[in-house]
Amino acid sequence: MPAILTNIAGPPEQANLAGGEVLQWTAAPPTGGHGVLAIGVISYANNVLVTCHTDKVPEFEDAASRICHDFEERFKLYLSRAEDALSDKQA
């Protein structure tokens, strides 16, 4: 399955739209054709959000959810390592 990945730096603080606070901001690239996996990664208000979408392809039905889950687990590790490095610097 071909994949397209877009990563975007979003606003570091919560944004307002039409007088209301934007709770979640996602980014998804164009899919670029049949059977393509599109992955968008954006930082927003001190969070990282991952969006995955695909065409319905029987052999890859759960691909998007598996990728998001695996990314979440890996990101927890990166965040933990970064927090450890920052606390070592401050000590």
Provide mean pLDDT across the span 26-49.
Answer: 81
Does residue 3 or residue 79 have the better pLDDT?
A: 79
pLDDT attached to residue 90: 77
pLDDT on residue 27? 82
pLDDT of residue 16: 92
**Distance linking the first and last C-alpha atoms of the chain:** 47
pLDDT, averaged across the chain = 82
Cβ burial of 38 (10 Å; 0-12, 13-18, 19+) is buried
Q: Please report which confidence band the pLDDT of residue 91 belongs to, taking 50, 70 and 90 as the band edges.
A: low
Secondary structure E strands in the chain: 3-9, 16-17, 20-21, 37-44, 47-54
φ and ψ of 13, to 5 deg: -120, 160
Q: CA–CA separation, 73 vs 85, rounded Å?
A: 19
